[in-house]
Amino acid sequence: MRRILAILLENEPGSLSRIVGLFSQRAFNIESLTVAPTEDESLSRITIATKGDDKVLEQIVKQVNKLIDVIKITDLTERSHVERELLLIKVLAMNDKSRTEVKRITDIFRGSIIDIGKQVYTIQLTGDADKLNAFLKTLAHETEIIESVRSGCVGIARGEKALRV
Amino acid sequence: MSTPLFTGAEMVVKALSALDVKYIFGYPGGSVLDIYDAIFQQNDFEHILVRHEQAATHMADGYSRATGEVGVVLATSGPGATNCVTGIATAYMDSIPMVVLAGQVATSLIGDDAFQETDIVGCSRPIVKHSFNCRRVEDIPNIIAKAFYIAKSGRPGPVVVELPKDILIPENKAKFHIETNVKMRSYNPTKKGHPKQIKKAVQAITKAKKLVIYSGGGIVLANASELLTQLVETLNAPCTNTLMGLGGLSGTHKNFIGMLGMHGSLEANKAMANADVILALGARFDDRVTNNVKKFCPNATIVHVDIDPTSISKTINAHIPVVGLVDIVLQQILDELTETQFSPDKTALEQWWQEINEWRAVDSVSYQQDDSKIKPQRVVEAMYKITKGEAYVCSDVGQHQMFAAQYYPFAKPRQWINSGGLGTMGFGLPAAMGVKLAFPDSHVICITGDGSIQMNIQELSTCLQYNLPVVIVTLNNRSLGMVRQWQDMIYGGRHSSSYMESIPDFVKLAEAYGHVGIKIDRLDELDSKLTEAFEIKNRLVFVDICVDEKEHVYPMQIKHGAVDDMWIKKGVKA
């Protein structure tokens, strides 16, 4: 089962490598990982999308928690939460027909075209992984995808529940 | 008057003094010469110069296992630091508190592949509890204080501190401030067990008809041996110790049913397999205990007490987990038993002990000594008699390790010192040296084999320099005994690279290093010559004993079987 883990940890050299090292050392799966400092610069927040059964997930949570510089870890998928990912994609837009079609699809998905080249459009889209996949699939029918990059997901709990020190 | 300023090197030394360090083990080199210069100018602690950094880590480790203090290592950058890796991993697997101060090239050179540069923090990342990259002179004291605190608290373990040369040199000075009362927002290990879990645990224990207490190295680390004994006696329950937990309950206690696991006693493994409740205390259901996890004790309710939540339900699912320090949790359990006015179910207990005594009667830990070659087990028994069971026994890894565990009943915790988790050959001699430093008036034995002893034999030189008269007992079978045993049992008797054709003359070798060497190859002289060896107090004695090379360690669990599927002797199943 796919899980999204949110981790709050000390923003110190080596913190990220300990997390990544742990996942490979113990043969845990990483689907995506994003990291950045929080509004309090002494802290970093990591979001990891992973897969595993309950037993594996229990070990992942415990092992991450055991790292000295980890302050908190929570499994966002346990409760109601919001999940977002950013996609930047460059597609071929050679003629009027394909330009119109790409623009139409982008609008339907509530994306935006953020750059235009002689023969290409660059599009930005946010959403959950499922929406991004659907967009990619639809675009691929219409035109040629030249390049794409995804941020990996970030997530936050709905309502009052918060991950903080 | 202005506040005095100190160099980073001086700060290292001052911090170690402030933390009451008595010994550090190390080897000098370019990046740490400033620290060595500062050590030269102080008298608060002694530096022990080893002959190889791996030995420094094992020595610090042995010192820690015997005393409970943090073992401290100092090594230079590059090869000095990487030589520590095996010792760090050894300490990590057995949860031994250790701080390794490793030199590093100057900050400006890091990443340039400079001379003697390695990323030791990176190299050691999977085998440390934590590590620090020091980058500023003024940070040194508090980073060292934190390293000690982390190494010692919670589930203990090794911590690496990397010190680049440019923050140690005389040109950079700062004010010295150390906070020995460490507080960290990201690290607050649990101490007490959750009261609800304690209640549940006690309910399970008191309802049990066939309870087994399975105790491990955590009991030794937490100095919880007396509380364990009290619990065993209150419940009149059978108790088995893991290899790491030997001495946790005295090996001569009437409720002790021997070590369990791969080379454990039949009664211990049978009791586990037939138990209705297993109380695991500071033990981690290691694969050398459980055998096939799918067949492990299917009918037992498992109560698992451990300081490390990751140990709980990692291999074997715990029905009642209790996270906490085992000494505190034991006290909580004892209090709860008193409060609930517990009295044992005598009939059930009697039946349970009757079953256990039947398994005991098989006498699974036994051997036959004929007139010809000396049996290795016979040597351990002689060692036990001569030292009245009071020696510190430091073991290397292999058959001799198992024979020592089986035939030397340890009365006290910390008396048995071995690399149980990592299984590091070469551990025994330096560990024994660390113990001898701490306890110069006690018998300290290094029990070893002709394979293991050669993995750190250079330390015989260190023994002479610091007058560390340990007794080395080598069970010499002219082969790598445990490898050979597996080859005999599993690989059709093909002794691939397990036979040593060029074993040195250990007596001459010991003499060359300035020690006493004694060779024993006849059974009728075993007791007298071994006694003689232990009577020599002020010199290291290397006893080279020629033992039967065909002897195997029994009993032994049958691969892929249940915990109690065992070979009792060659070709005899339990």
Tell the CATH topology of B376-553: Rossmann fold (3.40.50)
Strands B5-7 and B173-175: antiparallel
Distance in Å, alpha carbon of A65 to nearest chain B alpha carbon: 9
The Cα–Cα gap between B148 and A96 comes to 69
Whole-number pLDDT of residue B572? 92
CA distances from A52 to A3, B90, B206, B309 (A): 8, 30, 37, 19
- Domain covering A83-154 in this structure, CATH number: 3.30.70.1150
In whole angstroms, give the CA distance from residue B14 to residue B381: 46
Contact B230, B239 (CB under 8 A): no
Structure tokens at A153: 């997901």
8 Å CB contact between B289 and B260: yes
Ranges of CATH 3.30.70.1150 domains, chain A: 83-154
**Quick one: pLDDT at residue B1?**
63
pLDDT beyond 80 at B396:
yes
A61 to chain B, any CB pair closer than 8 A? The answer is no
What fold characterizes domain B5-175?
Rossmann fold (3.40.50)
**Cα B158 from Cα B99, distance rounded (Å):** 6
Whether B5-175 shares its CATH topology with B195-361 is answered yes
CB A63 within 8 A of CB A22: yes
> CA-to-CA distance for A71 and B226, rounded, in angstroms?
35
How many whole angstroms separate alpha carbon B530 and alpha carbon B405? 19
Measured CA distances, B563 to B238, B239, B353 (Å)? 17, 16, 19
Per-domain residue ranges for chain B?
5-175, 195-361, 376-553
Give mean pLDDT, residues B332-355: 96
Taking contacts as CB-CB distances below 8 angstroms, the residues of chain B near A58 are 313
Under a CB-based contact definition with an 8 Å cutoff, are residues B132 and B143 in contact?
yes
A10 touches chain B (CB under 8 A): yes
CA distance linking residue B378 with residue B72, whole number of Å: 37
Residue with tokens 């291999």: B315
Residue B451 confidence (pLDDT) = 97
Could you report the per-residue pLDDT of B433-486, keeping only the tens digit for each?
Answer: 999 999 999 999 999 999 999 999 999 999 999 999 999 999 999 999 999 999
Report phi then psi at B443, rounded to 5: -70, 125
Structure confidence at residue B253 (pLDDT) = 98
Of residues B133, B187, B314, nearest to A59 (C-beta):
B314
Q: What is the pLDDT of residues B259-302, one digit of tens each?
A: 999 999 999 999 999 999 999 999 999 999 999 999 999 899 99
Res A41: pLDDT:
96
Q: Which CATH class is domain A2-78?
A: alpha beta
Q: Which of A13, A58, A71 has its CB closest to that of B313?
A: A58
Q: Are B98 and B158 in contact (CB under 8 A)?
A: yes
* Helix spans in chain A (H): 15-25, 54-66, 96-108, 129-142
Q: Which CATH superfamily is domain B195-361 in?
A: TPP-binding domain (3.40.50.1220)
Instruction: Report the pLDDT value the prediction gives residue B2, as an integer from 0 to 100.
Output: 81
Residues 6+ apart with CB under 8 A from B38: B7, B9, B10, B12, B13
Cα-to-chain-centroid distance, residue A145? 20
Q: What is the ipTM metric for this complex?
A: 0.93
Q: What is the pLDDT of residues A102-158, one digit of tens each?
A: 999 999 999 999 999 999 999 999 999 999 999 999 999 999 999 999 999 999 999
Residue among B131, B185, B310 with most chain A CBs within 10 A, to mutate: B310
What integer pLDDT is reported at residue B211 of this predicted model?
98
**Residue B328 backbone class (left: φ over 0; alpha: ψ -120 to 50; beta: rest):** alpha
Which residues of chain A are in CATH 3.30.70.260 domains? 2-78
Compute the distance between CA of residue A115 and CA of residue A121 in angstroms, rounded to an integer. 6
Nearest to A14 among B129, B131, B150 (CB): B131
pLDDT tens-digit map of B45-95? 999 999 999 999 999 999 999 999 999 999 999 999 999 999 999 999 999
Residue B136 to residue B139: CA distance in whole angstroms: 5
